[in-house]
Chains A and B, each alone.
Chain A
Amino acid sequence: DAGVIQSPRHEVTEMGQEVTLRCKPISGHDYLFWYRQTMMRGLELLIYFNNNVPIDDSGMPEDRFSAKMPNASFSTLKIQPSEPRDSAVYFCASSLGGLREAFFGQGTRLTVV
């Protein structure tokens, strides 16, 4: 398996624009997690899914953030409208079972100017 695949790797956008980040989990994994990494706060969980269903979105900072998982092999994280403080690295991770080893993608570095 190629591991967790995220796209794009880098995204630069202007404030107010919509941004969509994409993730393909490892085939067969039933849990998918979205994390955000900043210098100030480190890695924080935004939302996670089990069998394509959102389970806990308490980490989503604002209503501007939304995430979907239309099928077992694809998830999106959308920010609309984007703001400079959303600049961070966004990671997707998947696992087989919620308590087992998590595997992370390469991340998407988002810069909002």
Chain B
Amino acid sequence: KQEVTQIPAALSVPEGENLVLNCSFTDSAIYNLQWFRQDPGKGLTSLLLIQSSQREQTSGRLNASLDKSSGRSTLYIAASQPGDSATYLCAVRISGAGSYQLTFGKGTKLSVIP
């Protein structure tokens, strides 16, 4: 059974700092990995989708990397801003017919201090 872990559970950084959020998964047979952002009381906003054949994906100040063989992904946030404060979730889809569900980590709660 696929398990996804995100460490740390919470992170506090000063504004302007670059930071890395970590995600690890137990089964390397994934199809793709998706990073989401969740604001309090809100839904999930998709940030980046990275396919298993890709090493990284970029969107603005965000860069996601994937090392499938080691079961790890990182989300790099450059020049953090208070508006980046949210919970960041990673989720994987495993390979195989009919395996369309996303398996989620429990998230890292990020606080960017002005």
Contact = CB atoms under 8 A, between A and B. Distances in A.
Interface of A: 4, 6, 31, 33, 35, 42-45, 48, 50, 55-56, 59, 91, 93, 98-107, 109
* Range, interface on chain B: 20 to 34
Contact of B100 (A42, A44, A48, A107): A48
A92 B43 CA distance: 9
B100 A91 contact: no
Contacts of B107: 42
B69 interface: no
Contacts of A35: 102
B78 interface: no
A107 B98 contact: no
A105 B102 CA distance: 15
Nearest to A97: B100
B106 interface: yes
Interface in B92-114: 93, 98, 100-102, 104-107
